[in-house]
Amino acid sequence: MLDFRRAGFVVSGFLLGTAGVKILGSKDAKKVYTHLTAAVMRGADEVMTTATIIKENCQDIVSDAREINEKKYMEEEEEMILDAREILRQAQEEQEESEDAKA
């Protein structure tokens, strides 16, 4: 047996769908879509601009960090050289003292 209630829902859905397609395809709806698309594109441009700024800042940070590390490595190397010179100086003094003691 045919259920008129279900048939009514199907017909109503078909009519609403048809009306919806007409509404979504109207000039006013197209204007709304155009403005929304333009807004999304502006938002994307802002995001890309911000991403570029962040990328540049990160590159600056990495460059500065490399300079800091280079200075630190140079300071450590100079300290090692000074320590080695001090050890050599002490060894020479000990050698001279032992030669003086033998003489």
Instruction: Give the contacts of 16 (CB within 8 A, at least 6 positions apart).
Output: none
Is residue 8 included in any domain, yes or no? no
Is residue 11 included in any domain, yes or no? no
Q: What pLDDT is recorded for position 100?
A: 75
Q: How many residues does the chain have?
A: 103
Mean pLDDT per 10-residue run, the chain (103 residues)?
66 70 75 91 95 96 97 96 94 85 71
- Cα–Cα distance for residue pair 93/45, rounded to 1 Å: 72
Q: What pLDDT is recorded for position 49?
A: 95
Is residue 64 included in any domain, yes or no? yes
Is residue 7 included in any domain, yes or no? no
- Cα–Cα distance for residue pair 36/28, rounded to 1 Å: 12
Q: What pLDDT is recorded for position 61?
A: 97
End-to-end CA distance of the chain: 132
Q: What pLDDT is recorded for position 43?
A: 95
Q: What pLDDT is recorded for position 19?
A: 66
Is residue 96 included in any domain, yes or no? yes
Spatial contact of 29 and 23, defined as CB atoms under 8 Å apart: yes
Is residue 19 included in any domain, yes or no? no
Which residue range forms the structural domain that includes residue 70? 27-102
> How many C-beta atoms lie closer than 10 Å to residue 95's C-beta?
10
Q: What pLDDT is recorded for position 50?
A: 95
Is residue 4 included in any domain, yes or no? no
Count of structural domains within the chain: 1
